[in-house]
Amino acid sequence: MRDRVIAVVLFVVVSSVYYATAVGISSSNDGSHYALLRAMVDQGQFRIDDYAQHAEGNDLAIRDDVVYSDRPPGTALMAVPFYVIGKVLPAPIRPMYARYDEGFPPLAYIVMLPVITGAAAVVILYLVLRSYEIGQGAALATSLASAFGTTLWKYGSVMFSHAPSALLIMGGVALAIRIGREGRIRPLLGLALGFVLGLSVVVEYSNTIFVVVVLIYITATVGRRVIRGRGEWIGGGALAVGMVLPIGFLLYYNTINFGGPFFTSYKYAINYPWAASFGTTFDVPLWKGLPGILWYGLDLADQENQGILLLMPVLLIGAAGVWAYLRRSVREAIFVLGLFLIYLLLFAKHHTFSGFTADTRYLTPFLGLWFIPISFALETVFTLRVGIAKAIALLIVYGLMFLSVRNIMVHIGFSYGYNLDPGLIERQATTPKNWMYILGNIFVNWLNLPLLWGIEGLLGAILVGVWRWRDKRKGAWQ
């Protein structure tokens, strides 16, 4: 029960910070998702001719003179409920920014999608850590570091695909680990995992590799039962059924818009012709891309990149926890860390590993995986006997955490849609005026927090009802 309370509080805190940071529609990327969302809900179609201005002439796909979003459709699809309720619920206190829809009331609800999915990814990480019997203190510290010391904070505040993808990645890994521990696929778990895997591809095409790795892991963990004749046909069938709906939608979307089930929007992207094939998308030599994605470098488009260790030095802690993770569960550690390594190497080869945002954003959905070994390192530090060794270790750990939070705050302030100007900061570092200026240009949406809390209150009531129903079934409330 205590973990449930911590998980709920963690979700509310993280989502509140993310939502307070949300600025609206800030660039061509989220503008393209937004254009597709408006076209689907307002016009019942996928072509975005009437909303193409939101993509700012950049993130577009054109086929036979018809304009489409070049983004995968999953993010817009997941945002539909938020848009629908935004049409009937109260308008925001502070209008959201959008270059072409300034003050459009539903925007305040649409941006709740990355907020809620990003915060939910953090909560799943916490619950996974607790399943490894990591102490509550270490698990909570790790989760907060993941929430505020990585680019998940930035992309949990804008309608890019990375926060929804992070939820699906963490959710898929958590379900796969649970199935692996049980050694069988229960129908409901199989159905949930299948849906998560399928939807992850609809949100990000590159998540196809994630799906393959998870299916290989599931096959390896339940395969003995099948070989011995005990079978997992019902669970495996449920997993397949779960994938049918999202994958079926994607194949339908590709066919009617781009001429075939396996022709994606990237085939017709107007500004990224290299994105049409795997070979031209991932064409950076590893000797160049790996240092760039880890530390600093230039991609083939000569975009500067802040590597993950430069921008998020808290990730360095993970190296000290890998061995402990392997000792705890070799199979799960190889699965989780192998998945992270695959995507690290994959995006190191990406044509623009900077993501045009100088922050290695493509890795954002997978960073939570690396925080599992970080938690093992923190658990070791927290359980050290009081002394000079523990003092030094804590100094290093919290120093890296706070440096990462500081870096992310500054990075957000310098991003599209924000107006942080170092030239307006007084020379005295800690004046109240400086803090008000800095925080005011990061937490630009704090006045609208009651809207988020109202939605979360409704979701919380539903969740409590589900918990009570499940516990009653187990006899806990008799």
pLDDT at 476 (0 to 100): 44
Rounded CA gap, 189 and 417, in Å? 40
Strand partners of residue 306: 296
Q: How far is C-alpha 93 from the geometric centre of its chain's CA atoms?
A: 27
Q: Round to whole Å and give the CA distance between 188 and 182.
A: 13
The single residue listed with the structure tokens 């911590």 is 6
Q: How far apart are the first and last CA of the chain?
A: 17
C-alpha separations of 127 from 15, 122, 140, 370 in Å: 17, 9, 10, 15
Over the stretch 178-195, which tens digit does the pLDDT of each residue have?
999 998 899 999 999 999
How many other C-beta atoms lie within 10 A of the C-beta of residue 69? Answer: 29
CB atoms within 10 A of CB 13: 15
Full-model pTM: 0.95
Three-point CA angle 32, 449, 362, nearest 5°: 35
Query: Is residue 175 scored above 80 in pLDDT?
Result: yes
pLDDT for the residue numbered 207? 97
Mean pLDDT of 123-128: 98
- Judge residue 5's burial from the number of C-beta atoms within 10 Å of its C-beta, 0-12 exposed, 13-18 middle, 19 or more buried: exposed
Output the pLDDT for position 478.
40
pLDDT(421) > 70: yes
Q: Which residue has the tokens 């990327």?
A: 29
- Residues 2-30, mean pLDDT to the nearest whole number: 94
Per-residue burial over 236-271, b if 16 or more Cβ lie within 10 Å, else e, is: bebbeebbeebbebbeebbeebbeeeeebbbbbbee
> pLDDT-derived band of residue 17, with 50, 70 and 90 as boundaries?
very high
Q: How many CB atoms lie within 10 A of CB 78?
A: 23
Strand ranges in 325-474 using DSSP code E only, listed in sequence order: none
> How confident is residue 295, by pLDDT bands cut at 50, 70 and 90?
very high
Q: For residue range 258-277, list pLDDT tens digits in order.
A: 999 999 999 999 988 888 88
Cα separation, 324 vs 138, whole angstroms? 14
pLDDT given for residue 232 in this prediction: 64
pLDDT, mean over the chain: 92
Whether 231 has a pLDDT exceeding 70, the answer reads no
Q: Are 69 and 35 in contact (CB under 8 A)?
A: yes
Average pLDDT over residues 27-33: 95
pLDDT single digits (tens) 304-317: 899 999 999 999 99
Half-sphere exposure of 186 (CA within 13 A, CB side): 8
**Residues 130-145, mean pLDDT to the nearest whole number:** 96
Q: What is the pLDDT of residue 1?
A: 66
- Convert the pLDDT of each residue in 342-366 to its tens digit: 999 999 999 998 888 989 999 999 9
**Dihedral over alpha carbons 117, 35, 253, 367 (to 10 degrees):** -30
